[in-house]
Structure 1
């Protein structure tokens, strides 16, 4: 370990040489893109920083920037943890990321159209039929349906890590109901309030253009024959873990936030109840899982869906964003085929690397995983939020044996990957009133439309606040940072 004494707030910063530190290089010198920021923060004492941190927390609390955690004995509403020391990505590095996530989103959209139509990729032996048919997110109801504009994954969240080799790797693709973009915009606002002066020294991309681009994307996939579409955000309600985001996005975009009870279907058209009477709805940005969307088509006991919605969708009278059935493509088992999917549909080499992945439904992969669990990260293919992940070198012998038995019972449900060394970033830790290294990842947000595409030039840098933890999800105790993308 080495310590940095050039800056008061980093006086006790321990740099572990084996980890890729995004601020300090291998010689413990400040990397070029951080030099000015490092200098600007040098005027603060650690107590000054702690006071600013408390101000940011109060700001988040007053604005209601919270999330629900369900892993405890009861649901708890918590302030989203936020660190005032931003992450900086230079323009050349970002250029590769942006091209790579857009490439993946386009390839996944073509994959979705194919698996719900001709299944050419299966017939050509690229992806096995059992990977599709055994996915809990594959909806037979979507067969031969053409979504407006030909877009399935209008909104994609791609999770990346920077490995110890300095390269970016994609951990997973999220294209059902990817969340977190509201925190990207709130983080920027909070940092500007607390430390406005630092923005004068960097030329960075705005993140406030996301809302207008999202609205444009939504309106570009309006149903045929609609001139001025009406769009809404549908939420499960105030007790959902991401309800703050649902309400924030609706307000920022300038459209109504509704629950299932606020909508009804008549003659295969969707209407919204208003104080002035019913109003036709053309586009639904849904934050409800597939099987809860329509009790007449999926789960009959769903109290948060809209009876008849899917029939209206099949008739082309309403657009659902993202399209039902997209979850088959962000199944972590399909992730293992992403390089082949990109080559097959786009005729291009993948721009971003996949993490080598073992799928337990394959006999050889299963054998390897069972023999090497202690060196692997095991993930369920259909979970989100960091739930169900097991990191082999953190398990006891008894826990390893239990995990092996669990995998053997349902091998299709699990993948395994090498334990990657996520990069670390200096992060303020309240308990110690000091800066410490913490592992980070990056969730990017890509929009696909009928006439344009858009990648948000920023992202959600998620931080594993527990020392040594590799799971960054807020539901697992993680926090976040503002992410600055430098302009050319």
Structure 2
């Protein structure tokens, strides 16, 4: 398996510096060593076919229109020992608690701004800050983030760090379950001997989290009705919406299936109108309600915001969460943890320099070729310099921009993302990985055991995104001793 496998200068999830497997991977390694080349190829094919049969696809849009693809799947799992995982869990709950406090504070008293910890203009110039629409609103459980997807990486020392927070509509949870399902079909032998945390009860956990957000004026005599609101089948994450709705036993609806009467939301059914109490929405804020946001939105429901403001319906995730998960706010999350919780961050950010500090500025200007420079206001990779891959000319342009507006930029070291073996085209080679951890938050926070490990399958690539040729791996949390019930 590891003939010609080179860990290089990177931290490897499976292989130690001495070239042999780490202790928690030893049994997996021994099992794979017993398989012939033919068996490995057959298993790899079976896994990909399984995904096709299940209809597990996402849509990639390019110049020729949309094409359906299956998420490439890699069978070498990411295995995380229980003690390590417990630290991640603690760190994720801590981070989400602070971010939730921050959102509630921003739309109410703004104590963190008054304390001088976060600059007012950073909030007010943010395009996702919807104070006009939802300022001062008290929402169920004071909970703005019912589901977060936090992306973690490991640096060259194997330390976990947060790369970004997704607090609006994090997708990908369905792949976590499908990866596990396919692994169990294709490699049943892996699950006999070893105790791997099960995903079995996670959907009822998610469902209970959704229905715990009962709006103030719901009818106390009936069980709350929750629906999942999708933009429809042309959305690239549509598979995710269908799967989650099915598994939670919740109606999947589009905007045209809902109507607001007397500030109450109803779903149209063949038996007439049925009241809706909770909407898990997978539509962006801007499109939710043409009355309150974009008047040209055909995806939303007219009058939805009025119903929300009156306490007649709950909307998950909250409106206006985007202000807390952009690049500039990311830098302040450790400060939020200190301010609201009076604790030190358990899982740190990637080191980030603000360039308003003259010493930092000088250092950054001298080391542009080693750093990543990002404009705090831009997203989607615009106005960004990746030092090691840049030309002198590009660096000179950026040097000027930074000198003119140092406050507009942040700098980060180029991180040596950790790697793990992947098996593709009949051989094993190292690929960069990251991990999206899903945190559900209702009356209390709960972390999905494992999460979505994403892998950059193109050799040498750093891009784990599925639209760029990235794939998924199953993520196993090893419980101590005993047998597997995965």
Equivalent residue in structure 2 for 1:330, among 320, 325, 332: 325
Paired residue secondary structure (2:235): coil
Structure 1 contact 465–478 (Cα < 8 Å) conserved: yes
The residue correspondences of 1:300-315 to structure 2 (distance < 5 A) are: 300-315=295-310
Equivalent residue in structure 1 for 2:213, among 201, 221, 232: 221
How many Å separate the matches in 1 of 2:407 and 2:71? 34
Residue number in structure 1 paired with 2:476: 484
Q: CA separation of 1:301/1:126 partners in 2, compared to 1, >3 Å: closer, same or farther?
A: same
Residue number in structure 2 paired with 1:417: 412
Residue number in structure 1 paired with 2:483: none
Equivalent residue in structure 1 for 2:427, among 426, 434, 438: 434
Give how far 1:371 is off: 5.3
* 2:434 is aligned with 1:447: no
Give how far 1:360 is off: 6.1
Structure 1 contact 381–413 (Cα < 8 Å) conserved: yes
How many Å separate the matches in 2 of 1:408 and 1:287? 41
Task: Name stretches of at least 5 consecutive residues in structure 1 with no aligned partner.
Answer: 1-8
How many Å separate the matches in 1 of 2:476 and 2:105? 37
- TM-score, length of structure 2 as denominator length: 0.92
Q: CA separation of 1:120/1:339 partners in 2, compared to 1, >3 Å: closer, same or farther?
A: same
* 2:451 is aligned with 1:456: no
Question: CA deviation digits over 1:53-109, x for unaligned, max 9?
Answer: 111111111111111223555332211011011110001100100000000000100
Paired residue secondary structure (2:189): helix
* 2:362 is aligned with 1:374: no
Q: CA separation of 1:297/1:257 partners in 2, compared to 1, >3 Å: closer, same or farther?
A: same
Equivalent residue in structure 2 for 1:391, among 371, 376, 386: 386
Give how far 1:363 is off: 7.7
Task: Name stretches of at least 5 consecutive residues in structure 2 with no aligned partner.
Answer: 481-486
Equivalent residue in structure 1 for 2:233, among 222, 234, 238: 238
Structure 1 contact 36–201 (Cα < 8 Å) conserved: no
What is the total number of aligned residue pairs between the two structures? 476
How many Å separate the matches in 1 of 2:459 and 2:369? 20
How many Å separate the matches in 2 of 1:188 and 1:472? 19
Paired residue secondary structure (2:144): coil
- TM-score, length of structure 1 as denominator length: 0.92
Give how far 1:389 is off: 6.3
Residue number in structure 2 paired with 1:4: none
How many Å separate the matches in 2 of 1:102 and 1:238? 33
Give how far 1:410 is off: 8.7
* 2:44 is aligned with 1:49: no
Residue number in structure 2 paired with 1:22: 13
How many Å separate the matches in 1 of 2:402 and 2:282? 30
Paired residue secondary structure (2:103): helix
The residue correspondences of 1:68-79 to structure 2 (distance < 5 A) are: 68-70=59-61, 74-79=65-70
* 2:277 is aligned with 1:282: yes
Question: CA deviation digits over 1:364-384, x for unaligned, max 9?
Answer: 767765654432234465777
Residue number in structure 2 paired with 1:6: none
Structure 1 contact 386–475 (Cα < 8 Å) conserved: no
Q: CA separation of 1:220/1:382 partners in 2, compared to 1, >3 Å: closer, same or farther?
A: farther
How many Å separate the matches in 1 of 2:359 and 2:254? 47
* 2:196 is aligned with 1:201: no
Equivalent residue in structure 1 for 2:123, among 126, 129, 132: 132
Structure 2 contact 7–17 (Cα < 8 Å) conserved: no
Paired residue secondary structure (1:261): helix
* 2:345 is aligned with 1:350: yes
Q: CA separation of 1:211/1:341 partners in 2, compared to 1, >3 Å: closer, same or farther?
A: same
Residue number in structure 2 paired with 1:267: 262
Question: CA deviation digits over 1:425-444, x for unaligned, max 9?
Answer: 000123xx211001111110
